[in-house]
Structure formats: structure tokens, C-alpha cells
Amino acid sequence: MELSEATEHQLIQDAAPLVVPRSEHTLSRSQVSSQALKVLYGLKDAGYEAYLVGGCVRDLLLGHKPKDFDVATDASPEQVNRLFRKSRLIGRRFKLVHVGFGRDVIEVATFRAPPEATQHIDEQGKIVQDNVFGTLEQDAWRRDFTINALYYNIRDFSIIDYTGGIADLQAGKIRLIGDVETRYREDPVRMLRAIRFVGKLNLKLDENTAYHLPRLAKLLVNIPAARLFDECLKLYLTGNAVPTHNLLVQYGIFDLLFPKSGNILKMEPEGLAVKLLNRALENTDKRIEESKPVTPAFLFAAILWGPVAREWQQNQDHNISAIPALQQAAINVISRQVQRVAIPKRFTLVTKDIWIMQIRLNMRQGKRGYRLLSHPKFRAAYDFLLLRVDSGEPYEELAEWWTAFQFSTEDEQQKMVAALAPDKQKKRRRKRKPSVTKVAENKV
């Protein structure tokens, strides 16, 4: 007997859940934050069901440290809100309760039912309303991946698995729950999440979950740019930027998020800008591993450098001088990019600074070098210059000069600046053209 995919899915859905008793799994209460435990017990003692769910259960079973703890319950958001003094209702499309403990927050979600086809889904298949409450079982089926739909029951410490998440964890597979195309259409951000989890957990995408990615990637253009910005930070600034970026490129998703950069990547896959981006992503991962800060402004400076450098060159070819040519290129590239990924202005301003300072780093005479050194974005601009050198741009000398200048005594610094100036003066005297004052500005 050959069952259709839908029937097979129905049969799986109708099956009883797998319940893994405490003695047969490794998740222990000692790994759960005391705040999350307070919320779980608070709900349980008030007579509600309460489970840990999502990334925290998945990560603990895989032996990773969870980023945060999410709780699911049959209590309504209002009931949860009444139960915990320091809690507040948030979200509209998706109502939740945040229970606060100082700076920490435990997110509590009420079980959701599947979206009703007629009312809550738009013509592309996207969910526009998601506030119909349901049972634990319904809640499990509407989650994204099987490994994200495991529930840790505070009543008996068992793990409840409706969708085959335990088997997939054991097999190292990331599998979308249900019909893959429908689920991607309901929320195209699931495509980004699939890739993020591969990069983060080093698991494999299930064949079918991967198969639909390149074809459906274009649905991401319908996602609000602000949500895509949030997702980009999770993709690129959580310590796995290199593998994640490679997957985004491989599945044609990078192209959709960063169309101009994607073009450069296709036209000049071995080019300097691509090398620079790869180096930047390696550094980003390394910095996160060393608990050093990373900034979105620097990340976007690296991602968008290819298109900016290209447009800068084109502007100069049209006889615009270096600084305005770069400024124009920066404004153009950023204003187009933010339509797709809404990078907030507080970051794009710094991104532009980093680029413009690439020219100013070459203007070191007189007091300029000192002034640059005290510029708040000097360090980022200098790091960016090092990246450019690393990727093969011919500015070793300039970079070495700045490296030395930063760590020199005042006396040494004066000598370094003086060593720059005489050549210029001699040249001027020789040429008897004292009016020439512009030096090297156009040579970055």
C-alpha cells in the first residue's frame, strides 16, 4: 500500500506522542535557570500546565548552553500576566507574556492552534494572525522544526515529542514540521532559521527541507525589512557567521538579503571585496569566541564594501574627486540596501564613517594624524584598513604606519609626522608652487 504524503502526515499526527521519562534523557533541572524554574513552578502550582520548549530543550539535549528559556502553558496570556507581578503582555500578531527578573526575561507563550486557512493566511500563504489558542499537541505541530518542538514537563521532568524531534536530534537532522512548501510560505523567515540552525548546531538540513529553499527564497522580499534586520544579526553576529554565510550564498538567500553584494560575489568570486568579507566574518566569529564586542556597523561595512568600492570607482571615472565620490557611493548603496534589510541609522552612520575614514587615514600630515587618532571611530576604520590589506589591497605601508603611530610615544609620533612632511615641502620648494596644498587625498 502506497500512502500519499498527506495521509502519511495525518497518520503521524494522529499517533500518540513519544514521552521520554526523566531516567532516559539527559536534561536536568540543574541546567535550567532559576528564573525559568520559578515561572514553571509558579504556573504548575496555580494548576496550569507548564513546559520548557524550543531552543532551550534542543540546546540542552545537544549539550549546548541555551541562549534563553522559553515556557509554554495552557494559561492564557492574561492569566499568566495576573499570576506574575513583574510581567507584561507583549506582541499583537503573536501575544506573549514577558516575566521579568531584573534584566532577564522569561518568555511565556500560550499553546497556539494552527492558523485557520480562511482568516489568518494571506494570498501568498503567509500567516498574518496567530492568536488562536489551542492544546499542547496543536502547539507542537505549528512550531517550525521537529527539534524545536520538544517539551520538558515540569510535572514529571519527562520530554514530550509529537513530531519526531528526538529521532531527528539523534540523526542530526533539521526537519521542518509538516508540508515543507506550505510551512515556508506561512512564514518565509523559517528559511533563515533553517540555515541559522545548521550554522549554529552543525546539524544537516533534511533533504526536503533543503530542497525547497532556493526556489522559495524569493518570498523573503515580502518580509518587513525590520524583521530581516533582526534575523541578519542572529545569522551573522552569534559566532557562526562563516558557515552561515556560506549556506546563505549556497541557497541563493544572500542574494535576496544583499542584492548588490550578491552581484559582486557572482561577478568577482575571487575579488578583493569577497576576500575582505570572508576575512571580516572569520574575525567576527573569533571575536565572539573571545567575548570581544562586535558591531553591526562594522559587519555591514564589510558586507557592502564590494558595491560601495565599485560605485566609488565609477564615480571617480566620471571625474568626481575621491571624497564626494565615496560619499555618493555610500549614500546610494545604503539607501537601496535599507529597503530590504532595515539597518537602523545609528549603525549606517558609523558604517559610512568607517568607509570615509579610509580616505582620511591617508591624510596624516600636520595635526591630522593626531585628530584622526582621537576620532571615536578610528579603531573601527583602522581595523577595516587592516582587513583591506589582509584581503590583498596595497596599503601595507599605511597600515604599518598607523599601527606604529598608535603605540608610539609623543616624541616618536612627532618624528613620524615630521618624516611625512619634508618630502612634500621639498617637492614644493623645488617646483616653486607654494599654492599646492592638496596631498595624497585622492590616493586611497
- Catalytic residue numbers read 68, 70, 144
β-pair partners for 159: 20, 152
Residue 348 CB, shortest distance to Mg ion, in Å, is 28
Residue placing its CB nearer to ligand ATP in the complex, 192 or 326:
192
Distances (CA, A) of 153 to 15, 92, 134, 137, 191: 19, 27, 17, 13, 29
Task: State the amino acid at position 368 in one-letter form.
Answer: R
DSSP 8-state assignment for residue 103:
T
Residue placing its CB nearer to ligand ATP in the complex, 91 or 271:
91
Q: List strand residue ranges (DSSP E) for 17-170, in order.
A: 18-20, 50-53, 70-73, 87-90, 96-101, 104-110, 150-153, 159-161
Question: Contact with Mg ion (CB under 5 A): which of 27, 51, 55, 280?
Answer: 55
Cα 441 from Cα 60, distance rounded (Å): 55
Burial 246-282 (b: 16+ CB within 10 A, else e): ebbbebebbbbbbebbbebbeeeeebebbbbbbbbbe
Q: Please give the helix or strand (H or E) that residue 205 lies within, else none.
A: strand 204-205
The listed partner (Mg ion, ligand ATP, none) that binds 137, CB under 5 to 8 Å by sort, is: none
Residue placing its CB nearer to Mg ion in the complex, 238 or 328:
238
Q: Which stretch binds Mg ion (CB under 5 A): 15-23, 50-58, 209-217, 319-327?
A: 50-58
The listed partner (ligand ATP, Mg ion, none) that binds 144, CB under 5 to 8 Å by sort, is: ligand ATP
Spatial contact of 416 and 408, defined as CB atoms under 8 Å apart: yes
The binding site for ligand ATP (CB under 6 A) comprises 54-55, 67-68, 70, 143-144, 148-149, 187, 189-190
C-alpha cell at 218: 524569493
The listed partner (Mg ion, ligand ATP, none) that binds 399, CB under 5 to 8 Å by sort, is: none
The listed partner (ligand ATP, Mg ion, none) that binds 379, CB under 5 to 8 Å by sort, is: none
Residue placing its CB nearer to ligand ATP in the complex, 214 or 239:
239
Q: Which stretch binds Mg ion (CB under 5 A): 66-74, 91-99, 349-357, 420-428?
A: 66-74
Residue placing its CB nearer to ligand ATP in the complex, 93 or 371:
93
Cα 405 from Cα 400, distance rounded (Å): 8
The listed partner (ligand ATP, Mg ion, none) that binds 189, CB under 5 to 8 Å by sort, is: ligand ATP
Spatial contact of 250 and 364, defined as CB atoms under 8 Å apart: no
Q: List strand residue ranges (DSSP E) for 218-377, in order.
A: none
Residue 442 CB, shortest distance to ligand ATP, in Å, is 46
Residue 52 CB, shortest distance to ligand ATP, in Å, is 10
Q: Which stretch binds Mg ion (CB under 5 A): 54-62, 76-84, 109-117, 406-414?
A: 54-62
Q: Which stretch binds Mg ion (CB under 5 A): 68-76, 155-163, 371-379, 388-396?
A: 68-76
Task: State the amino acid at position 187 in one-letter form.
Answer: D
Distances (CA, A) of 270 to 134, 264, 265, 273, 385: 52, 10, 8, 8, 19
Residue placing its CB nearer to Mg ion in the complex, 72 or 303:
72
Residue 143 CB, shortest distance to ligand ATP, in Å, is 4
Q: Which stretch binds Mg ion (CB under 5 A): 62-70, 144-152, 156-164, 388-396?
A: 62-70
